[in-house]
Amino acid sequence: MTDTAAIRRKKQVQKFGRSDRSPLGLWFWEIDRVLLMLITVLISIGLVAVAAASPSAAHRYSGGDVTFAPLYYFWRQLFWIALSVPVMLYISTFSKAKARRFALAGAAFFTVMLALVPIIGFEKNGATRWIGVGIGQFQPSEFLKPLLVVALAWLLSLRQQDKTLPVVPLTGALVGLIAILLMKQPDFGQTIVFGTMWMALLLLSGVSGRIIGGLVGAGFAGIVAAYLFYPVATTRINNFIYGEGDTYQVDKAHATITNGGIFGTGPGGGTAKFQLPEAHTDYIYSVIGEEFGLIACLAIALIFLAIVVRVFLKLLDEEDPFTMLAAAGLTTQIGIQALINMAVNLQLAPSKGMTLPLISYGGSSMIALAIGLGLLLAFTRRNPYLNRSPYVVKWGGQR
């Protein structure tokens, strides 16, 4: 009995030690724990922010019903987080090959779903972007973003094997198709995000400067054309530049984010948020500014920046083109979305109806982010035993 107990204690000590080569043990040592910590911090901040914005949203969407739970959206967000975090951690255990196959299949599926939105989708807030499933609904474009990034990264990485492959026009045609489907919804903000992600991947893949210059010119021409012929873009840009039309949302967002000053009014002390539409989603950054101050807004921006810098520094010695493009593309997607949301709240960009990643309330958006972050964690894993043991190199698969 004594020997058995000693062996059991020894195994417990070795669990998650560097000698632990079980799948879970290897995952523990391979995962980027700093990146995982930054993600966890943002999720925690988001939960606090939704709790701060929930009374305002509950008051607005309950029609002033005093019996409506003020923390209704907080409890729902807590449920979505409890569902999303295991999804993120599970996907982070995928090998790079499995993560690639998962993303390719998912990108194909959600592209089809995006094409079906005009047929089976339903309208909400003047746009048809959602598909109903049972008692809930989901937005295909949210799920498509991270999955398409990986698919585009895989296609562009094929250039390293054969320079004659027409992957640039192929990926351009794919992104163009998705842009058309998005603009029909209409969703001009997501169209900009998809286009920017594609451009970033092209730049990282080593496409010639001539092609990049031509695409930048084409993109500028596309924005001008959208302003001239696409009413949604015309309205949003005119509202931003000239203050024409309905500027109620951005005006209230500005009043809310500046009401708290540097250090904020304190948790629950905000009053301007009760006049703010979509306080728990698109304009939650303004609620944070009111109750926790502009210093909290700056801290959130720095955390997003830290995630981007962390991943890009880690990719400096990455030798696999696909892994480099996939991880960089996923990070760029999150960074662009965060930058756009914060810029809108600060009146530095036209309103686009875009949430702040990991912080804004949302079920399908939280699960979609969990998928994207799980893929990012999978692609940034590093085998600590690499080049130490031939057995581990073979067991761990490609780097």
Over residues 74-118, the pLDDT tens digits come to 999 999 999 999 999 999 999 999 999 999 999 999 999 999 998
Distance CA 376, CA 109 (A): 20
Mean pLDDT of 240-265: 79
> What's the rounded mean pLDDT across residues 312-324?
89
- The most confident of the ranges 66-80, 119-133, 182-196, 301-315 is 301-315
The one-letter amino acid code at 293 reads G
Task: Find the mean pLDDT for residues 190-214.
Answer: 86
Q: What is the pLDDT of residue 163?
A: 77
pLDDT tens readout for residues 235-247? 777 777 766 656 7
pLDDT at 309: 95
In contact, 96 and 378? CB cutoff 8 Å: yes
Backbone φ, ψ for residue 358 (5° rounding) = 70, -5
Of 167 and 16, more confident: 167
Integer Cα distance of 52 and 287 in angstroms? 7
Give me the residue spans of the domains in the chain.
Answer: 25-396
DSSP string covering 215-278, please?
HHHHHHHHHHHHHHH-HHHHHHHHHHHH--S--HHHHHHHHHHHHTTTT-S-TT--SGGGG-TT
Tell me, what's the pLDDT at 390? 41
- How many CA atoms within 13 Å lie on the side-chain side of 185? 30
Query: What confidence tier does 338 reach under pLDDT thresholds 50, 70, 90?
Result: very high
Are 226 and 218 in contact, with CB atoms under 8 Å apart? no
Q: Whole-angstrom Cα distance, residue 199 to residue 236?
A: 23
